[in-house]
């Protein structure tokens, strides 16, 4: 298959063509203009590419405006898409007021730091990006009188919940320590959710909130520092997986394609003022068990799982040990469903990472 929108990744191309062929989404998004922040990130870039694929496969007439800080990075991510007329760049930063001349129907706001180490080394910037940046995007939504505004939040808003809580619905919250700098991300997300619904109540902005579980799959950068990418690299390079915790934290996860589909469902079909968990409920697993799953799924790598606990673990920016399994039943009620399980998530991510390394 010739590489088109995902010119260096046939796994991602297959994934996003599947999203683009969703007739429900196609009918809702035809002839719309969609503004995306965080557009060069893992999820934002795949949303942009899925919309461009809709245009190519179905002549959908969708216009995409991508807010990007770096034109150079945008061109490396989107390549020839920028010459096709579907996608235009808005160069700037969410920390500054945003000026767009075109009409906008929908806004998907995903600009945010994502590195745990960044949260603890730059907590002020983490908070300011969340609050000030989102205020600027909400002001744009208010000025353009958009049909829908989706904020990409996180499972971290739930804090530390009771270990026996079972699957967590959208109205179940745990403890966050406001005096921990690691809470700069979690507390920032909580405050921004309140800011979003406040704009909804006071100014009529049709806000919806997506609380994403940790999301990975095709498109993850080979050098990504998060634990799922480290495990994948170990399998690819034949290196043992070395954990710096006991690996007892349990989470649910979501595949990239499923997350992209979920966000478009929420943007167009989500109920204003509501939050929705985005996760695959069948993926609940501890970090240690996930390491073992990678070891067993790729026996040819001949790797082992070991533990090396550092004296000072705080510098890593890890969350407290917890069990947090999200329920996606509310999202599923809109017609969405997760399609890719953990083993296949790893297989497709590793194929994608290998292709990116070959191209480089």
Mean pLDDT of 216-242: 95
Mean pLDDT of 242-248: 90
Note the pLDDT of residue 311. Answer: 62
The DSSP output letter for 169 is: -
What residue spans of 245-300 are helical by DSSP H? 256-269, 287-297
Note the pLDDT of residue 360. Answer: 54
- Is it the case that residue 1 has pLDDT exceeding 50? no
Note the pLDDT of residue 318. Answer: 59
- Is it the case that residue 286 has pLDDT exceeding 50? yes
pLDDT tier at 3, thresholds 50, 70, 90: low
Give per-residue pLDDT as tens, 126-179: 999 999 999 999 999 999 999 999 999 999 999 999 989 999 999 999 999 999
Mean pLDDT of 40-64: 97
- Is it the case that residue 304 has pLDDT exceeding 50? yes
Residue 233, both tokens: 């690299």
Output 4 or 69, whichever has higher pLDDT. Answer: 69
Output 3 or 341, whichever has higher pLDDT. Answer: 341
Q: Determine what percent of the chain is predicted with pLDDT higher than 90.
A: 89
Q: Contact 255/246 with Cβ under 8 angstroms? A: no
pLDDT tier at 244, thresholds 50, 70, 90: confident
pLDDT tier at 319, thresholds 50, 70, 90: low
Output 58 or 113, whichever has higher pLDDT. Answer: 58
Mean pLDDT of 172-194: 96
Contacts 24+ apart (CB under 8 A), 71-80: 73/40, 74/39, 74/40, 77/40, 77/45, 78/45, 78/48, 78/49, 79/7, 80/7
Note the pLDDT of residue 315. Answer: 54
Note the pLDDT of residue 114. Answer: 83
- Is it the case that residue 316 has pLDDT exceeding 70? no
Mean pLDDT of 336-347: 98
Note the pLDDT of residue 127. Answer: 97
Note the pLDDT of residue 359. Answer: 61
Output 117 or 280, whichever has higher pLDDT. Answer: 280
Mean pLDDT of 66-74: 96
- Assign 3-class secondary structure to 193-253: HHHHHHHHHHHCCCEEEEEECEEECCCCCCCCCCHHHHHHHHHHHCCCEEECCCCCCEEEE
Query: Mean of the per-residue pLDDT values for the chain?
Result: 94
């Amino acid at each position: 298959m010739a590489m088109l929108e995902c010119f260096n990744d046939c796994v991602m191309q297959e994934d996003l063509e599947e999203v683009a062929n969703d007739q429900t989404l196609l009918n809702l998004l035809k002839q719309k203009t969609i503004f995306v922040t965080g557009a060069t990130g893992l999820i934002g870039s795949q949303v942009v590419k899925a919309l461009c694929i809709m245009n190519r496969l179905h002549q959908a007439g969708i216009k995409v405006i991508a807010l990007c800080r770096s034109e150079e990075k945008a061109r490396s991510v989107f390549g020839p898409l920028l010459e096709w007329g579907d996608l235009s760049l808005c160069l700037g930063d969410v920390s500054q007021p945003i000026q767009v001349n075109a009409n906008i129907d929908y806004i998907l706001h995903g600009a945010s730091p994502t590195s745990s180490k960044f949260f603890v080394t730059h907590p002020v910037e983490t908070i300011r990006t969340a609050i000030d940046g989102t205020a600027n995007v909400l002001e744009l939504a208010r000025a353009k009188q958009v049909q829908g505004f989706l904020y990409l939040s996180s499972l971290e808003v739930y804090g530390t919940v009771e270990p026996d809580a079972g699957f967590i619905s959208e109205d179940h919250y745990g403890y966050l320590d406001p005096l921990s700098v690691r809470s700069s991300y979690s507390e920032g997300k909580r405050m921004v959710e309140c800011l979003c619904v406040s704009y909804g109540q006071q100014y009529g902005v049709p806000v919806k909130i997506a609380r994403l579980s940790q999301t990975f799959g095709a498109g993850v950068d080979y050098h990504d520092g998060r634990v799922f990418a480290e495990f994948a690299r170990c399998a690819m390079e034949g290196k043992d997986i070395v954990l710096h915790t006991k690996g007892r934290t349990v989470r649910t996860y979501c595949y990239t394609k499923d997350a992209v589909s979920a966000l478009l469902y929420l943007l167009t079909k989500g109920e204003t003022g509501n939050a929705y968990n985005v996760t695959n409920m069948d993926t609940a697993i501890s970090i240690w068990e996930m390491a073992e799953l990678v070891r067993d799924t790729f026996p040819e790598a001949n790797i082992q799982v070991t533990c090396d606990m550092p004296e000072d673990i705080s510098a890593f920016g890890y969350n407290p040990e917890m069990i947090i399994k999200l329920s996606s039943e509310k999202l599923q009620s809109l017609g969405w469903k997760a399609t890719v399980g953990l083993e296949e998530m790893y297989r497709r991510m590793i194929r994608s990472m290998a292709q990116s390394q070959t191209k480089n």
